[in-house]
Amino acid sequence: MPTPADRPSRLSLVIHTLVVALLLLSFVSGVMLWFGPLLGQPAEELLPPKPARVWVVIHGVLYPFLCVLFGYLLCQHIRYGWELKANRVTGALMEGVFAALILTAVGLYYGPESWREALVWAHRVLGLLLPVSLAAHWWTARAWVKTISK
């Protein structure tokens, strides 16, 4: 059994920082896009038009990077974690939410207009669940590391 410091599933500081930064920026930009319609007003009325457009662009531009991140996590972090039998439930939950966010985003861009409202709400709910599932995964990972440290 590897020590906590040298376990193969551990994310490097660079990857860890990248994961947090990409997910945080995606979450913040998504909340900014949701803010106006949630209050029953278009986002353009709450924010100057240029900043509102900036959040749309940021959220959209992050999409390919988040897809790459998802693939990296599947091929590296998750594969090693699965072999170690570590944190499987919260990891599967988090990756399921992440995958569903990717699929609902594809549906929002390319899906039928009749599905749009359902996809928007699914994407919003999943967007709120991702930080919750990430926190749960982090918390259970810390508990798991303590068990292998003994």
- Could you tell me the pLDDT band of residue 8, with boundaries at 50, 70 and 90? low
Asked if 104 and 122 count as a contact pair (C-beta separation under 8 A), the reply is: yes
pLDDT in tens, 47-91: 555 566 778 889 999 999 999 999 999 888 888 888 888 888 999
Q: Which residue has the tokens 């966010």?
A: 101
Asked if 59 and 33 count as a contact pair (C-beta separation under 8 A), the reply is: yes
**Burial environment of residue 91 by CB neighbours within 10 A (0 to 12, 13 to 18, 19 or more):** buried
Asked if 105 and 123 count as a contact pair (C-beta separation under 8 A), the reply is: yes
Q: Which residue has the tokens 């972090």?
A: 77
Q: Which residue has the tokens 């896009």?
A: 33
pTM: predicted TM-score of the whole model, two decimal places: 0.80
**pLDDT at residue 115 in the model:** 96
Residue ranges per structural domain of the chain: 4-149
